[in-house]
Amino acid sequence: MTLIHDAIAPSWFAQISVGEAPGRAEARIAASSGVFAVTLTFGLHRYFTFYASYDQGIFNQLFWNGIHGRFFQSSLSSVLSGAVVHDQQVPAVFYHRLGQHFDPVLLLWHPVYALFPNAATLVVLQVVLVTAGGLVLYALARQYLKPAIALMITAGYYAAVAVIGPTFSNFHDLSQIPLFLFTLFLALEKRWWWLFWLMAALTLLAREDTGVLLFGIGVYLVLSRRFPRVGLVLCAIGFGYVMAATNVFMPMFSRDVSQRFMIERFGHFATGSEASTLEILWGMISNPIRLIGHLLKSLDQKVLYMLAQTLPLAFVPLISPSAWALISAPLAQLLLQGGESRFSIYIRYAITLVPGLFYGAILWWSVHQDRFRPRFRQFWKGFLILSLLIVVLKSPHRVFYFLVPDSFQPWVHVPLTRQWEHAGHVRSLLYQIPPTASVSATTYIIPHLSSRREVLRIPFLQFRNDQNQVAEVEYLIADLGQMQQYRVAFKDERGALAQLVPLIDQLIDQKTYGIQGLEDGVILMQHGQPSKPELLNTWTKLRRNYSNF
Confidence of residue 25 (pLDDT cuts 50, 70, 90): low
Are residues 22 and 116 both part of a single domain? yes
AA identity, residue 408: F
> What count of residues does the chain have?
549
Are residues 368 and 419 both part of a single domain? no
Question: How many domains, the chain?
Answer: 2
Q: For 257-274, write each residue's pLDDT tens digit.
A: 888 888 888 888 888 778
Are residues 337 and 422 both part of a single domain? no
Q: For 94-110, write each residue's pLDDT tens digit.
A: 999 999 999 999 999 99
Does residue 541 sit in helix, strand or coil? helix
In a domain, 64, yes or no: no
In a domain, 65, yes or no: no
Rounded alpha-carbon distances, angstroms, from residue 424 to 36, 50, 216, 434: 27, 10, 48, 18
In a domain, 90, yes or no: no
Q: Which residue in 1, 9, 6 sits closest to 323, CA to CA?
A: 6
Question: From its phi and psi, is residue 157 left (phi > 0), alpha (psi between -120 and 50) or beta?
Answer: alpha
What's the domain range around 322? 10-51+96-398
The DSSP element (H or E) to which 439 belongs, if any, is strand 439-441
Phi, psi of 441 (to 5 degrees): -140, 165
Residue 261, pLDDT score: 81
Are residues 347 and 472 both part of a single domain? no
Rounded alpha-carbon distances, angstroms, from residue 210 to 215, 246, 288, 314: 9, 12, 25, 27
Residue 24, pLDDT score: 62
Are residues 439 and 331 both part of a single domain? no
Are residues 388 and 469 both part of a single domain? no
Residue 20, pLDDT score: 57
Q: For 118-170, write each residue's pLDDT tens digit.
A: 999 999 999 999 999 999 999 999 999 999 999 999 999 999 999 999 999 99
Confidence of residue 33 (pLDDT cuts 50, 70, 90): confident
Rounded alpha-carbon distances, angstroms, from residue 323 to 151, 223, 312, 377: 19, 12, 14, 21
Are residues 489 and 434 both part of a single domain? yes
Are residues 16 and 112 both part of a single domain? yes
- Residue pair 365/151 in contact (Cβ under 8 Å)? The answer is no
Are residues 40 and 123 both part of a single domain? yes
Q: For 343-388, write each residue's pLDDT tens digit.
A: 889 999 999 999 999 999 999 999 999 999 999 999 999 999 999 9
Domain boundary residue among 398, 432, 463?
398
Residue 147: asked if its preceding bond is cis (omega within 30°), the reply is no
Q: For 161-172, write each residue's pLDDT tens digit.
A: 999 999 999 999
How would you class 456 by CB atoms within 10 Å of its CB: exposed for 0-12, middle for 13-18, buried for 19 or more?
Answer: buried
Are residues 199 and 250 both part of a single domain? yes
Distance from C-alpha of 435 to C-alpha of 188, rounded to nearest angstrom: 48
Hey, CA dihedral for 111, 115, 118, 122, is it positive or negative? Answer: negative
In a domain, 464, yes or no: yes
DSSP 63-103: HHHHHTT-TTB-HHHHHTSHHHHTT-PPPBTT-BGGGT---
How would you class 163 by CB atoms within 10 Å of its CB: exposed for 0-12, middle for 13-18, buried for 19 or more?
Answer: buried
Are residues 174 and 279 both part of a single domain? yes
Are residues 435 and 325 both part of a single domain? no
Q: What is the mean pLDDT of the chain?
A: 92
Across 28-32, 196-200, 326-330, 533-537, least confident range = 28-32
pLDDT at 11 over 80: no
Q: For 419-430, write each residue's pLDDT tens digit.
A: 999 999 999 999
In a domain, 77, yes or no: no
In a domain, 83, yes or no: no
Domain boundary residue among 337, 368, 398?
398
Query: Which residues in 461-471 are b (16+ Cβ under 10 Å) and which e?
Result: bebbbeeeeeb
In a domain, 81, yes or no: no
Domain boundary residue among 366, 398, 430?
398
